[in-house]
Amino acid sequence: MEHLVSRDEIKRIRKELKEKGKKVVFTNGCFDLIHAGHVDYLSKAKEFGDVLVVAVNSDESIRRIKGEKRPITPLSERGFVLANLKPVDYVTPFDEDTPFEIINELVPDILVKGADWSIENIVGRETVETNGGEVKTIEFVNQQSTSNIIKIIVERFGNK
Protein backbone atom coordinates (compact mmCIF):
# COMPACT_ATOMS: atom_id res chain seq x y z
CA MET A 1 0.00 0.00 0.00
CA GLU A 2 1.31 3.42 -0.93
CA HIS A 3 1.48 5.75 2.06
CA LEU A 4 2.51 8.87 0.19
CA VAL A 5 -0.12 10.79 -1.75
CA SER A 6 1.10 12.52 -4.92
CA ARG A 7 0.81 16.27 -5.42
CA ASP A 8 -1.97 15.83 -7.98
CA GLU A 9 -3.84 13.43 -5.71
CA ILE A 10 -3.62 15.68 -2.63
CA LYS A 11 -4.90 18.62 -4.69
CA ARG A 12 -7.90 16.51 -5.78
CA ILE A 13 -8.49 15.38 -2.18
CA ARG A 14 -8.26 18.98 -0.92
CA LYS A 15 -10.87 20.08 -3.46
CA GLU A 16 -13.24 17.31 -2.33
CA LEU A 17 -12.71 18.16 1.35
CA LYS A 18 -13.41 21.84 0.68
CA GLU A 19 -16.64 20.94 -1.12
CA LYS A 20 -17.66 18.90 1.95
CA GLY A 21 -16.92 21.82 4.29
CA LYS A 22 -14.08 20.01 6.07
CA LYS A 23 -11.47 22.15 7.82
CA VAL A 24 -8.02 21.14 6.51
CA VAL A 25 -4.97 21.57 8.73
CA PHE A 26 -1.56 21.59 7.06
CA THR A 27 1.90 21.21 8.48
CA ASN A 28 5.24 20.22 7.07
CA GLY A 29 8.71 19.06 8.02
CA CYS A 30 11.49 16.57 7.55
CA PHE A 31 10.30 14.09 10.21
CA ASP A 32 13.61 12.25 9.89
CA LEU A 33 13.69 10.24 13.13
CA ILE A 34 10.12 10.40 14.38
CA HIS A 35 9.97 10.85 18.15
CA ALA A 36 7.50 11.69 20.93
CA GLY A 37 7.83 15.43 20.22
CA HIS A 38 6.64 14.86 16.66
CA VAL A 39 3.69 12.77 17.81
CA ASP A 40 2.64 15.38 20.39
CA TYR A 41 2.96 18.15 17.78
CA LEU A 42 0.90 16.27 15.18
CA SER A 43 -1.79 15.40 17.75
CA LYS A 44 -2.12 19.06 18.70
CA ALA A 45 -2.15 20.14 15.04
CA LYS A 46 -5.03 17.76 14.27
CA GLU A 47 -7.12 19.37 17.03
CA PHE A 48 -7.36 22.57 14.94
CA GLY A 49 -9.49 20.94 12.23
CA ASP A 50 -11.05 17.89 10.63
CA VAL A 51 -8.25 16.60 8.40
CA LEU A 52 -4.47 16.77 8.89
CA VAL A 53 -2.24 16.91 5.82
CA VAL A 54 1.48 16.51 6.47
CA ALA A 55 3.85 17.58 3.72
CA VAL A 56 7.21 15.89 4.16
CA ASN A 57 10.49 17.00 2.60
CA SER A 58 11.90 14.62 0.01
CA ASP A 59 15.31 13.07 0.63
CA GLU A 60 16.88 15.48 -1.87
CA SER A 61 15.28 18.47 -0.18
CA ILE A 62 16.60 17.38 3.22
CA ARG A 63 20.11 16.92 1.83
CA ARG A 64 20.06 20.48 0.49
CA ILE A 65 18.81 21.85 3.82
CA LYS A 66 20.59 19.65 6.39
CA GLY A 67 23.63 18.33 4.53
CA GLU A 68 24.74 15.16 2.76
CA LYS A 69 24.51 12.93 5.88
CA ARG A 70 20.76 13.44 6.15
CA PRO A 71 18.15 12.11 6.05
CA ILE A 72 18.81 9.14 8.28
CA THR A 73 15.49 7.56 7.28
CA PRO A 74 14.42 7.51 3.59
CA LEU A 75 11.20 9.17 2.45
CA SER A 76 9.34 5.88 1.94
CA GLU A 77 9.92 4.90 5.59
CA ARG A 78 9.17 8.38 6.96
CA GLY A 79 5.95 8.40 4.93
CA PHE A 80 4.97 4.97 6.22
CA VAL A 81 5.48 5.96 9.87
CA LEU A 82 3.70 9.31 9.49
CA ALA A 83 0.74 7.81 7.62
CA ASN A 84 0.28 5.30 10.43
CA LEU A 85 0.12 7.88 13.21
CA LYS A 86 -3.43 8.34 14.49
CA PRO A 87 -3.71 12.13 13.93
CA VAL A 88 -2.37 12.07 10.34
CA ASP A 89 -4.84 11.73 7.50
CA TYR A 90 -2.61 12.31 4.45
CA VAL A 91 1.13 12.49 3.81
CA THR A 92 2.47 14.10 0.68
CA PRO A 93 6.10 14.71 -0.28
CA PHE A 94 7.56 17.91 -1.65
CA ASP A 95 10.90 18.43 -3.39
CA GLU A 96 11.32 22.16 -2.85
CA ASP A 97 13.33 23.60 0.04
CA THR A 98 10.18 25.22 1.46
CA PRO A 99 6.50 24.23 1.29
CA PHE A 100 5.57 27.53 -0.41
CA GLU A 101 4.37 25.94 -3.67
CA ILE A 102 2.27 23.19 -2.09
CA ILE A 103 0.68 25.63 0.38
CA ASN A 104 -0.25 27.91 -2.54
CA GLU A 105 -1.76 24.94 -4.37
CA LEU A 106 -3.71 23.51 -1.42
CA VAL A 107 -4.60 26.73 0.45
CA PRO A 108 -5.26 24.99 3.77
CA ASP A 109 -7.71 26.40 6.30
CA ILE A 110 -5.16 26.18 9.11
CA LEU A 111 -1.38 26.31 8.69
CA VAL A 112 0.58 25.02 11.67
CA LYS A 113 4.26 25.24 12.61
CA GLY A 114 6.23 24.87 15.81
CA ALA A 115 6.44 27.85 18.15
CA ASP A 116 10.12 28.17 17.29
CA TRP A 117 8.81 29.99 14.19
CA SER A 118 7.45 33.51 14.53
CA ILE A 119 4.13 33.75 12.69
CA GLU A 120 5.38 36.48 10.35
CA ASN A 121 8.21 34.17 9.17
CA ILE A 122 6.07 31.10 8.48
CA VAL A 123 6.21 30.19 4.81
CA GLY A 124 2.74 30.34 3.25
CA ARG A 125 1.25 32.59 5.95
CA GLU A 126 0.14 35.27 3.50
CA THR A 127 -1.57 32.76 1.20
CA VAL A 128 -3.50 31.19 4.06
CA GLU A 129 -4.50 34.46 5.74
CA THR A 130 -5.44 36.15 2.44
CA ASN A 131 -7.84 33.28 1.78
CA GLY A 132 -9.51 33.52 5.19
CA GLY A 133 -7.47 30.85 6.95
CA GLU A 134 -5.45 30.96 10.16
CA VAL A 135 -1.83 30.38 11.06
CA LYS A 136 -1.11 28.72 14.41
CA THR A 137 2.00 27.74 16.32
CA ILE A 138 2.40 24.88 18.77
CA GLU A 139 4.73 24.92 21.76
CA PHE A 140 7.06 21.95 21.95
CA VAL A 141 6.65 19.82 25.07
CA ASN A 142 10.34 19.11 25.22
CA GLN A 143 13.45 20.07 23.33
CA GLN A 144 13.60 16.76 21.54
CA SER A 145 14.68 16.97 17.92
CA THR A 146 16.24 14.67 15.36
CA SER A 147 19.45 16.72 15.52
CA ASN A 148 19.57 16.32 19.33
CA ILE A 149 18.94 12.57 19.05
CA ILE A 150 21.78 12.22 16.53
CA LYS A 151 24.07 14.24 18.82
CA ILE A 152 23.28 11.96 21.78
CA ILE A 153 23.92 8.83 19.70
CA VAL A 154 27.26 10.18 18.47
CA GLU A 155 28.28 11.19 22.02
CA ARG A 156 27.31 7.81 23.53
CA PHE A 157 28.25 5.43 20.77
CA GLY A 158 30.48 7.34 18.34
CA ASN A 159 33.72 5.73 19.44
CA LYS A 160 32.44 2.16 19.70
Phi, psi of 81 (to 5 degrees): -65, -50
Taking only the tens place, the pLDDT of each residue in 18-77 is 999 999 999 999 999 899 889 999 999 999 999 999 999 999 999 999 999 999 999 999
Taking only the tens place, the pLDDT of each residue in 106-133 is 999 999 999 888 999 999 999 999 999 9
Residue 3: per-residue pLDDT: 83
Amino acid at residue number 54? V
Count the Cβ atoms, other than its own, within 10 Å of residue 16.
10
Q: Output 108 or 2, whichever has higher pLDDT.
A: 108
Report CA-CA distances (Å) from 152 to 40, 110, 146, 155, 157.
Answer: 21, 34, 10, 5, 8
Return the domain boundaries, the chain. 7-157
Query: Does residue 160 register a pLDDT over 70?
Result: no
7-157 placed in CATH 3.40.50.620: yes
Query: Does residue 102 register a pLDDT over 50?
Result: yes
Longest pairwise C-alpha distance within the chain:
57
